[in-house]
Amino acid sequence: MLGGAGRLAWHAKRNCSSTSLERRIRQPDMIKGFRQIASLTVISRIFGMLRDMAFAYFLGAAGLMDGWVIAFKIPNLARRLFGEGAASSSLIPVYSEQLQKDPEAAKKLACTVVTVIFIILAGLVLLGEGIIWSYYRFFSIYPGTDLKLTLSGIMLPYTILICVVAILAGILNAHRHFAMPAAAPIVLNIFIISSLCIGGWGFGIQPGSLVFVVAAAVLVAGLAQLFMQLRPLRARGVYIRPAWQVRSEAFKKIIILMGPMILGLTVTQINTLADDFIALWFSGSQEKGEIFSLFGREIRYPMWEGAVSQLFYSQRLYQFPLGVLGISLATAIFPVMSAEAARKDFNALVKTISRGIRAAVFVALPATAGLLLVRNLVVSVIFERGRFTSSDTTLTAGVLLFYSLGLCGFFAQQVVTRAFYSMQDSKMPARSALVAVCVNIILNLTLIWFMGTAGLALSTALCSYLQVVILLLALRRRFGSSVLDNMLATLIKTLTATILMWMAGQCLLYLCRGLPDGTGFDVLRLAVVVPTAAVVYTVAAKLLHIEMLSLFSGKKP
């Protein structure tokens, strides 16, 4: 372990300044990459919101939507675990290192990783399909369970497609190409929206059958996403072919890194998945009734059918700023940190980590305040139509409140975990994630009896901060206090600007109180409040000379 500026200086003696790759890895690279990813992610999230509006209209927030959410969680979690999560994140630092030493060996390494991941996932998908068939053949199941199993069976092959897409995206990111990977989710959203609207409006398909049409559309979207990544890879001389160089030292290093990364990088997804399953198991329904028996005692369910949907819709809303800003920032900064770590340029690495953490705080605080300010309006405008009722709006907004409180933790988590991975250290994030997951499950099973579905969201938010604190303490032990340079000043200034933004937003909401109810007037309220609050925050940040403003303006504050 390293500690303090003296040891940091010892590492700096190995810095290189003459290679062409190093000249490309400068701070503007991170800013350019962040803007490119953020811009495309905004488009993707807009389509994602349209997708969720279509889901709310056609499927509502009850049993059908609960079934879809659970079934789609399986390939989505696999993507996080084996795709853009562990496999991609373990590949990027090793691949970046190989690119500097031997570009041809790096390309063979990429092909080997894709081949191995494909074979493993194909085996798991076949196993999963066999388990689903066995359930149908040998067990009697509830109608709701039947729906979830059927949807899972249809969408399991998407697991292979999306994980390979995520690996290819990681390779492109290592080559500083961010556009096509960031655009891939747009394709999925377009296919889902089209299947819902064409099936529901064009052919009049009933919701019970429409959900299966959407599941099939997901598979077609996966193929389209895959072919999107191949052309830019070929343009960079990377041709994906079957390869099996599993005995190479680079591949062994990826495998060693990958295991702990599966837990460390996906803790938020694991926690939200735990939220969903606990909501599913502890929710009453017409089929199950209001009461269940535990050790001979009759206990009333703390939640009701639709809790999973409330979690899903609120997760979609808090993940909008997280995806547009937090994950975009982490994705852009990760190749930079990996290249600096590969060159043993620890002075530059610490500065990049520090800047990344401060940037995360700069965007997360106003995002938190903004969601808290307009959460009811946002849920109402986006979802309240068709089978999604005003009661669903109230319940979903309540859950969103507590997820929003965790945004700073979610943002910082993305940067700090990748700081360790850039140094090819995956054990520390895994340990912190294990603690966070265990605490989250305990809090989940405790808070649901007092807060219902909102307790699940609060637990996940609190555990994000727990993991960040553990990781920051580990970084301080390794690099000294310099990793948090200017953190307090940035926090105070950002909090001040956020408070001014909040006050401006509250004043505007007060002035708009006389407007009639209705979706059109809610849209008008949002159109007035959100841009004005954003302008107030930007001006305040400029006046307070917050350095992180340069990420957006490209100019010194």
pLDDT digits (tens, 9 = 90+) for 323-354: 778 877 887 788 888 888 888 888 888 888 88
User: Helix (H, G, I), strand (E, B), or coil: what is residue 89?
Assistant: helix
Q: Which helix (H) or strand (E) holds 293?
A: strand 291-294
User: Helix (H, G, I), strand (E, B), or coil: what is residue 283?
Assistant: strand
User: Helix (H, G, I), strand (E, B), or coil: what is residue 344?
Assistant: coil
Helix and strand totals (H; E) in the chain: 22, 4
Given a cut of 90, whether residue 288 has pLDDT beyond it is: no
Question: In DSSP terms, which residues pair with 291 in a beta bridge?
Answer: 300
Q: Which residue has the tokens 């729906």?
A: 147
Nearest to 279 by CA among 396, 387, 378, 146: 396
- The whole-angstrom separation of Cα 105 and Cα 175 is 15
User: Helix (H, G, I), strand (E, B), or coil: what is residue 289?
Assistant: strand
- The whole-angstrom separation of Cα 338 and Cα 100 is 12
User: Helix (H, G, I), strand (E, B), or coil: what is residue 178?
Assistant: coil
108, two tokens? 């063979």
Given a cut of 90, whether residue 133 has pLDDT beyond it is: no
137, two tokens? 């053949």
Residue pair 280/301 in contact (Cβ under 8 Å)? The answer is: no
Nearest to 268 by CA among 425, 455, 467, 471: 467
Residue pair 134/52 in contact (Cβ under 8 Å)? The answer is: no
What is the mean pLDDT of the segment spanning 40-45? 84
- Cα dihedral 278/283/285/288 (nearest 10): 70
The tens digit of pLDDT for each residue in 490-542 reads 899 999 999 999 999 999 999 988 888 888 888 899 999 999 999 999 999 99
Instruction: Determine phi and psi for 117, rounding to 5 degrees.
Output: -60, -40
- The whole-angstrom separation of Cα 167 and Cα 183 is 15
Angle at alpha carbon of residue 65, lines to 62 and 71, rounded to 5°: 135
User: Helix (H, G, I), strand (E, B), or coil: what is residue 299?
Assistant: strand
User: Which of 202 and 77 is assigned the larger pLDDT?
Assistant: 202
**For residue 487, what are the CA distances in angstroms to 3, 466, 495, 515?**
19, 18, 12, 42
Residue 137, exposed/middle/buried by CB under 10 A (0-12, 13-18, 19+)? exposed
> Residue 178 — pLDDT band, cuts 50, 70, 90?
confident
Given a cut of 70, whether residue 7 has pLDDT beyond it is: no
The tens digit of pLDDT for each residue in 257-266 reads 776 766 665 6
- The whole-angstrom separation of Cα 195 and Cα 201 is 10
Given a cut of 70, whether residue 469 has pLDDT beyond it is: yes
- The whole-angstrom separation of Cα 478 and Cα 506 is 43
**For residue 351, what are the CA distances in angstroms to 7, 18, 217, 553?**
15, 20, 45, 20
- Cα dihedral 454/456/461/462 (nearest 10): 110
Given a cut of 60, whether residue 555 has pLDDT beyond it is: no
The DSSP line for 523-536 is HHHHHHHHHHHHHH
Q: Where are the domains of the chain?
A: 23-485, 486-557
Q: What is the pLDDT of residue 264?
A: 63
Q: What is the pLDDT of residue 196?
A: 93
In the predicted model, what is the mean pLDDT of the chain? 83
- The whole-angstrom separation of Cα 370 and Cα 501 is 8
- State the CB neighbour count (10 A cutoff) for residue 423: 19
The DSSP line for 129-159 is HHHHHHHHHH----HHHHHHHHHHHHHTTHH
- The whole-angstrom separation of Cα 214 and Cα 192 is 6
Distance of CA 404 to the CA centre of its chain: 14
End-to-end CA distance of the chain: 36
Given a cut of 80, whether residue 553 has pLDDT beyond it is: no
Q: Which helix (H) or strand (E) holds 91?
A: helix 86-101
The tens digit of pLDDT for each residue in 355-399 reads 889 999 999 999 999 999 999 999 998 888 878 888 889 999 999
Q: What is the pLDDT of residue 289?
A: 63
Nearest to 195 by CA among 72, 55, 79: 55
What is the mean pLDDT of the segment spanning 73-96? 72
Instruction: Determine phi and psi for 13, rounding to 5 degrees.
Output: -65, -15
166, two tokens? 């995520």
Residue pair 399/453 in contact (Cβ under 8 Å)? The answer is: yes
Residues 6 or more apart whose Cβ sits within 8 Å of residue 482: 5, 8, 350, 354
Angle at alpha carbon of residue 177, lines to 175 and 179, rounded to 5°: 165
The DSSP line for 426-482 is -HHHHHHHHHHHHHHHHHHHHHHHHHTHHHHHHHHHHHHHHHHHHHHHHHHHHH-GG
